[in-house]
Chains A and B, each alone.
Chain A
Amino acid sequence: MSSTPVIKCESVYKIFGTNAEKMLQSANGNVDAKTFQDAGCIVGVNNASFEVSKGEMLVVMGLSGSGKSTLLRCISRLTDATGGKIFIEGQDLLAMNNKQLIELRRSKMGMVFQSFALLPHKTVLENIAFPLQIKGIKTEESIKKAIEMVELVGLKGRENYFPRELSGGQQQRVGIARSLAVEPDIWFLDEPFSALDPLIRKEMQDEFLRLQGKLNKTILFITHDFDEALRLADRIAIMKDGLIEQLDTPANIVLNPKTEYIRKFTEEVPREKVLKIEDIMDSNSLGQSENSISVLKDAIIETVAEKILSQEKSVNVIDKNNKVIGSVKPSKIIQTVFGGRKENS
């Protein structure tokens, strides 16, 4: 890595319980959830190490109780990690005093919550302006900025509504606008769309991708929805019982699930909707195909499957500059979509 990663975790532990720290020390880096539980401690996060680089979106996926939210709260220091090190842009997060932490949050961090966590006594506008006012920015200026944010998330005309007067989707738009008001570099989203209806969720994901395309923040996104993770992520970390089971790109996770647990998630995934041509192409067979038809490497399989399957020979894969970078056989498509499934009677 050339530049410092924006977020860096080194064997982060979070253990709940009275003697957590002592137990962790004596465990000597070998934490077993069962023994801890017998001692009255609950392991929230177990030896998490990873890096997130600038502009990257890391999605942490796990079922409830897997420790994903706890991990996020350790990195935002809403709870203190029991062990390990966390660096935000090279600064040691756990060594910061309260003042530095507040400064960091005021300037660099924004967070969106599952249940929106809007202040019930403030209007849309006041909620969005809240972090700015907390920073000490004048009312007039903060309201001006808040109006900008209202437009960004498409809530124009509802500035003076109270949260209770808005639908879930609209409330979360306010939550998003609030978290972006201070123009943070790091954006935490804790299951932001889980409390929404499926249709609204889809709409909000699109909206979210649009915003991210515009803003290019460093993102830590928590979800329990595997499809959502696949849709949004640059990389996915799958957690179970506090451990990160696998951390990889969506394609690699779908194609090479590391454990049986992850395989269960990937089994039902419609791969043609998730994978890109790039993920399944053969890059060693440069220029071997004489076929005149070519597909873009970023294309989702589903969108070009018909085109490729109508051919008998391999199809060229090109990048944005029309340079051929590989090829893909029609049989590969069939193998990807239907292969490797268990036979069910």
Chain B
Amino acid sequence: MEKIYKYPKATQWIFLLLVFFGLCFAIDVPEGYEFAKAGTEFIDKDKLDQTKYSVFWRLPAFIAWMPGWINESVFFLLNDWAPIEYFDSDIQETKTRPVVLHITRIVSRSMLFMIEFIREILIGGVETVVAFTSWDWIDANPWAELPGLPWTIVAGGAILLGHKLNGRNLAIFAGITMFYISTFGQWKPSMQTLSFVMVAAPISFILGLAFGIWAYKSKRVENILNPLLNVAQTMPHYSYLVPIMVLFGIGDHAGAIATIIFATPPMVRLTLLGLRKVSPEVIEAGKMSGCNDFQLLFKVLIPTARRDILIGVNQVIMQCLAMAVIASFIGAKGLGWNLLLALNQLRIGLALEAGICITLIAVLLDKMSLAWANKQINYFENPTFFQRNKYLIIFFGVVFGGYILSYIGTFYFKEGFNYLFIVPHNKGISTEAFWNSGVDWILDNFFDPLKVFNTWLITEVLIPMKNAFLRMPVVATFILFMGAGYIIGGLRSAVVVGSFTLFIALTEWWDRALITMYMATFGVIVSGILGIIIGTLSAQTKTSIRITLAVCDTLQTFPSFIYLIPVIMLFGVTDTSVLIAVVIYATIPATRYTIEGLRSVPTALHDAGSMSGVNRLQRWLKIELPLAFPHMMLGINQTVVFALFMVIIGAMIGTTDLGQYILKALSDRQGTGNGLMLGLCVAFIGLAVDNLIRTWADHRKKLLGLD
């Protein structure tokens, strides 16, 4: 009895678990209940008619009508609502169409124009000219097309830019990247992807910055933006695609719009964070220097918040390239599309080459943008005209030389392809054979152990775990989640978590959501343990911290799809593959936050520990871990989001959870509602966990006097 008063929280947890398990055992599976099965069978409305089961077991799908309603609303907005007159320049007459459609068409067209324009500067084409004239005119004037640049010029330009921004190392890296892309025959898709990123990234940057500033200036805007950003950042990428497809059609512009929607929120967040951190004295110094509002913003606030804003830029670029693959679902051309094709055909080597291309471009763009922002001016040198325009002059030289080379090439490579202009897609070097034989070799030699491991994992761990999750009666799940919310954050948290869960429970996908939860839970547990172990081990010395953080940085630049390549190589198309990809992907934030948390333990406490004579294990258990734990939990929070994303992406290779349905909604013209609702379900799982962990970590940090 005494212990109950001594540890009230622990008692509450034990009580909660007792009730939870009690309910699980008390409520039996109703007879004839059909669990979600593997495979992609279409939703059988009868079987899913949950009203015929007890509400304790499964809630009736009360909001199953919502997807349909969303579809109808979108169609109404797009096709009937508020028609306006406009002038159609193609057929030279005035027509009417609904305002939403009109706007989306204008957005699509201008977006497409920008992408095509950059693309055709790089690899040539006629679309830009067409935009100003017409197809008929092009047919009549076949010379009128942008010629495109030989790859040597683009590569030379990239090297020069690298050198101008950050000296020799970046130049060398740019050179290697360009050379790799070209010789491996990835030039055309790479330039397509690049042109797409060069439109999406700046727009996301500007939008993010603008909204960040707006939220900084107005509390009300921040309050409105906050939940929107939360949902946007936890919705899986796929679920945006259907509504975007409906509104904007299919093509590069749609991909770009999806990318922008995904890349903007972190930029907004980081801009706001950075601006908030600017010390009031710096602002006052700006005001006392006589800044007007505009100067204060652009010369004081934004530059001072630069560190966080740059992280935002970095995030934007990463998101853009990560979306390159996903955007190819709705018609974005380029590397992503190639990668997707290769993955679908299980051509691992090809997928790997495309993946490396994306990664190289991502790292290059990231480094260049950082270098550009860190550039400083030297006021003391007095450059001559030549010195000042050195790079421009050399670039002209490169352009000239590049054209000459490609002209010579036309004589040299008589038949077919001019390799000095562009290396065509299937004519480059390929290491595919090597990788394939590598995979074969692994399968030849390790087939049995891999298979044993695979089978063991599936039959002994995954299936029982999945069954256990599915076996939970809905009322028990509610009690568990809301109870956890209540113990951690009081009534408020309980209500928030409860309403997120309720939303999911009232859709017709509760079983699917449970499967998603089980996969994510498995991923989070394994990555959490791995991350904490790796993080703790590498936090021991300064060098290992640096190395591990560098590895984390690099791994985070990889678009999420890349992670699927090696695991499919080893485990084929199974849940194991997805889960291993999830684990690898989600271990990154867990490791990073563990290191950060351990590093933030004050030196004074370390010294105090040493003087008390702690040994290594005691130091870790009694000093470091308790202080670092709240921060580590925030890492787990990230891990949850990462794991959810990866689980959903894993639908690509055949899982049976929500992701599968989202993917299916993609191929359905009526999929808007389903896509959005499914996306919300995933987002809400993430947000519920986020609420619990964040509340706990904040509470704990306050208690420990951190922050």
Which A residues contact B (CB, under 8 angstroms)?
73, 76, 78, 98, 102-103, 105-107, 109-111, 113-123, 125, 130-131, 134-135, 139, 143, 159-160, 175, 178-179, 182, 188
Instruction: Establish whether residues A117 and B282, one from each chain, have CB atoms under 8 Å apart when the complex forms.
Output: yes
B288 within 8 A of A: yes
B622 within 8 A of A: no
B434 within 8 A of A: no
Q: Which of B130-138, B257-265, B291-299, B580-588 contacts A (4 or more CB under 8 A)?
A: B291-299
A159 to B299, CA, bound (A): 20
What is the 8 Å Cβ interface bit string for chain B, positions 549-574, against chain A (1 contact, 0 not)?
Answer: 00000000000000000000000000
Query: Contacts of A103 on B, CB cut-off 8 Å?
Result: 290
A130 to B290, CA, bound (A): 10
Query: Contacts of B378 on A, CB cut-off 8 Å?
Result: 160
Instruction: Establish whether residues A113 and B284, one from each chain, have CB atoms under 8 Å apart when the complex forms.
Output: yes
Total number of residue pairs linking A and B with CB closer than 8 Å: 71
Instruction: Establish whether residues A78 and B289, one from each chain, have CB atoms under 8 Å apart when the complex forms.
Output: no
Query: Contacts of B288 on A, CB cut-off 8 Å?
Result: 76, 78, 105, 109-111, 179, 188
Closest 10 CB pairs of A and B: A106-B290, A131-B289, A117-B285, A117-B281, A111-B288, A105-B290, A121-B303, A113-B281, A117-B282, A102-B290
CB distance from A246 to the nearest CB of B (A): 28
A78 with B284, Cβ < 8 A, contacts A102-B292, A134-B295 known? yes
Query: Contacts of A76 on B, CB cut-off 8 Å?
Result: 288
B300 within 8 A of A: yes
Query: Contacts of B281 on A, CB cut-off 8 Å?
Result: 113-117
A115 to B282, CA, bound (A): 9
| New A-B pairs, 5, CB < 8 Å, besides A76-B288, A105-B290 | A73-B284, A111-B288, A113-B284, A117-B282, A118-B285
CB distance from A115 to the nearest CB of B (A): 5
CB distance from A261 to the nearest CB of B (A): 28
Query: Contacts of B291 on A, CB cut-off 8 Å?
Result: 102, 134
Interface residues of B in 292-317 (CB under 8 A from A): 292, 295, 299-300, 303-304, 306
B89 within 8 A of A: no
Which B residues contact A (CB, under 8 angstroms)?
279, 281-282, 284-285, 287-292, 295, 299-300, 303-304, 306, 376, 378-380
Instruction: Establish whether residues B289 and A121, one from each chain, have CB atoms under 8 Å apart when the complex forms.
Output: no
Query: Contacts of B279 on A, CB cut-off 8 Å?
Result: 115, 117
15 residue pairs from A and B, CB less than 8 Å apart: A78-B284, A109-B288, A114-B281, A117-B282, A118-B285, A119-B303, A119-B304, A122-B303, A130-B289, A131-B289, A131-B290, A134-B290, A134-B295, A134-B299, A178-B285
Partner of A119, one of B282, B287, B379, B380: B282
A135 with B287, Cβ < 8 A, contacts A114-B281, A119-B300, A119-B303 known? no
CB distance from B481 to the nearest CB of A (A): 39
Instruction: Establish whether residues B287 and A78, one from each chain, have CB atoms under 8 Å apart when the complex forms.
Output: yes
Q: Which residue of B lies closest to A105 (CB)?
A: B290
Q: Which residue of B lies closest to A104 (CB)?
A: B290
CB distance from B287 to the nearest CB of A (A): 6
A175 to B288, CA, bound (A): 12
A103 to B290, CA, bound (A): 7
Instruction: Establish whether residues A121 and B379, one from each chain, have CB atoms under 8 Å apart when the complex forms.
Output: no
Which of B290, B304, B306 gathers most chain A CB within 10 Å?
B290
A119 to B291, CA, bound (A): 13
A102 to B380, CA, bound (A): 31
Instruction: Establish whether residues B285 and A113, one from each chain, have CB atoms under 8 Å apart when the complex forms.
Output: yes
A102 to B290, CA, bound (A): 5
Q: Which residue of A lies closest to B287 (CB)?
A: A78
A117 to B289, CA, bound (A): 12
A295 to B376, CA, bound (A): 58
Which of A76, A107, A131, A159 gathers most chain B CB within 10 Å?
A131
Query: Contacts of B292 on A, CB cut-off 8 Å?
Result: 98, 102
Instruction: Establish whether residues B303 and A117, one from each chain, have CB atoms under 8 Å apart when the complex forms.
Output: no
Partner of A111, one of B285, B299, B306: B285
Partner of A120, one of B284, B304, B376: B304
Instruction: Establish whether residues B306 and A121, one from each chain, have CB atoms under 8 Å apart when the complex forms.
Output: yes
Which of A105, A110, A120, A179 gathers most chain B CB within 10 Å?
A120
Instruction: Establish whether residues B287 and A123, one from each chain, have CB atoms under 8 Å apart when the complex forms.
Output: no
CB distance from A163 to the nearest CB of B (A): 11
Q: Which residue of B lies closest to A108 (CB)?
A: B290
CB distance from B167 to the nearest CB of A (A): 17
A248 to B680, CA, bound (A): 69
Partner of A117, one of B284, B290, B299, B379: B284
CB distance from A100 to the nearest CB of B (A): 11
Q: Which residue of A lies closest to B300 (CB)?
A: A119
